[in-house]
Structure 1
Amino acid sequence: MPNSELMPIGVFARRTGLTASALRFYADSGLLPPVEVDPVSGYRYYGAEQVARAAALRQLREIAMPLTAVEVVLDAEPAQASRLIDEHVAKVLGDAAAVQQKAASIKSSLTDVPSLPIAALKGPVLADAIEQVLTATAREPGMPVLGALRVEATQEAITLTATDRYRLATRTLVPAEAAAATWAATVDGDELRAAVAEIRRSALVRIEATPHGFWLRMAGREDRHCLLLSEEFPDYRLMLASLPEATTRVTVSKDLLLRILEEHPGERITLRVTHHGRNLLAMEAEPPGVPLRATMTGQDLQISFELTTLYPAVSTAIGPDVMLDLRGPNQPVTIRSADRGDLTTLAMPIKPDHSA
């Protein structure tokens, strides 16, 4: 008879989250044999020391790891086990991306509508623009448009725009070849992120629209398909047009401003812009503010930001100097390059008392 410290299969199943049938399968495969089997009844008994292995086995199977790999991970040292899990996850993600692209190709072939040529852009330039603008996205359940990229094409320019409601980034690109059609759509941001590496390695990328997505055609590389979202993108042009005139303009070294933001100890930061006989941008904080030389015109102003809002807006700016157009402590600030205007970011401040 089994000793009192052993658990029958039903009790062990409840302890580990595995079904009795799964335990029998793992026992027969040698992954988790019972400590003892009653020779008369055939009942299987497990020990308390097997609970951790059983739970790990269940978790590894939940991420679709094959049995042969599961056995290696269970018997490996922690460092090797972690590496094997990472390799498995990378393979699953790669397979999923390949399946997604293949599915998009199949769906595109099911329609009789040919793709519509939109524009051709230099790959490295397009890749940079996508990464810069997508910093203004967010994952929010029920609002996929906040994680998307708005693409608008005219014969003269391609405009990329994204917003998470606290930031808005927009960049205008001159196509390598004149756009063939006027077109606008909202594109899945995650699929564009996944395509950036291939886009960057392509000298020229051609955009072709389909009813539910668009193709990124790249010579010598596999074409990528990105889905379009049906949700309406926020009317950012109306918002931009309704902004009041800036009351204060500051031009400052991007690197120096970023360094101060990186070294700032808090989650929120206050910019105190004041003349005091010279043009000066002061960073108010604890410890006391750090003066930062800047070119300033307009009114003295104090404005506060969440660091997670201001830092990405500054870091993606193009060129050595950034220009901040300030409208007041409760109005969006416009951040752009001091000498190039094709990338513009708006960042929302917070109230001086640091409430949202």
Structure 2
Amino acid sequence: MPNFELMPIGIFAQRTGLTSSALRFYADSGLLPPAEVDPVTGYRYYGTDQVEPATVLRRLREIAMPLAGVEAVPGSTPREALRLLDEHVSDVVADAAAAQRKAAVIRSTLSNEPGLPIVALRGPVLADAVEQTLTASAYDTATPVLGGLRVETSHEAVALTATDRYRLSTRTLMPAEPPEQSWAGTVAGDELRIAVAEIRRSALVRLEAVPHGIWLRVEDGEDRYCRLLPDAYPDHRLVLASLGAVSTRATVSKESLLRALQDHPGRRTALHIADRTVGVAGADGDQLSTPLPATVTGPALRIWFELTTLYPAVSTAIGPDVMLDLRGHDQPVTIRSADRGDLTTLAMPIKPPAKPDGSA
């Protein structure tokens, strides 16, 4: 290699962000050997074509990828390299989440404060309710509380609520035993999801509050600890209380409505409520699916949604038929079972997309 293409280890270190000692280590391990070594002085020289792979190596090590993974990346196809990267990140995230859960348990133990009994619930029922309501939660680094499940107990019932500001799901559960007392807190949703399998296998689950979390005490299994999220939860009670009067109501087959939504690709979709039918509009808003038989009261209405808002709201409804309570094209729609009211979801509509002529 011509000398003008080579650079000493110090210059190469500056170009790549790697220290000279790290470069010597990677050279000795065979991961990044120098382009040339002076046989007399032992000085190491690197080529300009080694800058990019050395920079990639540094970035991989910055995210704590082990040497075995780093060694595999250069000889891989782009698809395989991306797979290796994604697998490593998934492992890091899982390890961090596990450490966070274990630290929370240790913290609870170190506090040496007795737990406060809250309520006892049927395990399978609680597991289903957690999964149903958490579909309306969201991972948001700016507002972590949106990833939580709001738990509120009274002497009569237990209410579970989740919202991502576009959907709001709430389910009411009847306790297996009279609640010990009223209590409210926002539980980390990701930790509840992990606990669901254990909860489902227990006939009875007792909730017990400690300063920074709750214990889920199960029968013949491993108790689970979930953190409480400290930030204030959105005022969902105000949202529910401020809903306007229902103007149009439609009851339609849940399976048929989901199938119609699946058949219309695109980010946005519209529901067209008419006399005895519910139709689903495609991306242009003009082509309707085959009208679905429905029981409809009130005036006809077309209302637009993001598919990612509407579909989960319908899919989590309980029972074969869903009831849609509509208040106008720009107001939240209430989606619930046609014969059970213990799970209710609000879905926020969007503005109708503009047509080519500029009209809505």
User: TM-score normalised to the size of structure 2?
Assistant: 0.87
Shift of 1:152: 0.6
- How many pairs align? 352
Paired residue for 2:306?
A: 306
Query: 1:114/1:214 Cα in 2 relative to 1: closer, same or farther (>3 Å)?
Result: same
**SS state at 1:225 partner:** strand
**SS state at 1:196 partner:** helix
Q: Which moved more, 1:248-257 or 1:62-71?
A: 62-71
Aligned partners of 2:73 and 2:84 also within 8 Å: yes
- Pairing 1:199-214 to 2, within 5 Å after superposition: 199-214=199-214
Instruction: Tell me if 1:177 matches 2:177.
Output: yes
In the aligned structure 2, how far is the partner of 1:40 from the partner of 1:190? 60
Q: What amino acid is aligned across from residue 233 of structure 1 in structure 2?
A: Y
Shift of 1:77: 6.7
CA-to-aligned-CA distance 1:50-101 (integer Å, 9 cap, x gap) = 4454344323322323334533555567777666556544543443333222
Aligned partners of 2:264 and 2:281 also within 8 Å: no
Paired residue for 2:155?
A: 155
Query: 1:47/1:227 Cα in 2 relative to 1: closer, same or farther (>3 Å)?
Result: same
Paired residue for 1:238?
A: 238
Query: 1:307/1:86 Cα in 2 relative to 1: closer, same or farther (>3 Å)?
Result: closer
- Pairing 1:189-268 to 2, within 5 Å after superposition: 189-268=189-268
**SS state at 2:334 partner:** strand
CA RMSD in angstroms, aligned pairs only: 2.7
In the aligned structure 2, how far is the partner of 1:119 from the partner of 1:225? 15
Q: Which moved more, 1:66-75 or 1:134-143?
A: 66-75
CA-to-aligned-CA distance 1:193-244 (integer Å, 9 cap, x gap) = 3333333344433211011111122344433222212222222223212212
Aligned partners of 2:302 and 2:329 also within 8 Å: yes
Shift of 1:166: 1.5
- Pairing 1:1-356 to 2, within 5 Å after superposition: 3-72=3-72, 74=74, 88-275=88-275, 279-285=276-282, 286=284, 288-290=287-289, 291-353=291-353
Shift of 1:14: 4.3
> Where in structure 1 are there 5+ consecutive unaligned residues?
none
Q: What amino acid is aligned across from residue 302 of structure 2 in structure 1?
A: Q
**SS state at 1:108 partner:** helix
> Where in structure 2 are there 5+ consecutive unaligned residues?
none
Shift of 1:151: 0.3
Shift of 1:246: 0.7
**SS state at 2:194 partner:** helix
**SS state at 1:294 partner:** strand
Aligned partners of 1:161 and 1:170 also within 8 Å: yes
Shift of 1:105: 1.9
In the aligned structure 1, how far is the partner of 2:129 from the partner of 2:20? 54
CA-to-aligned-CA distance 1:167-217 (integer Å, 9 cap, x gap) = 110011223333222111112222223333333344433211011111122
**SS state at 2:4 partner:** coil
In the aligned structure 1, how far is the partner of 2:81 from the partner of 2:142? 36
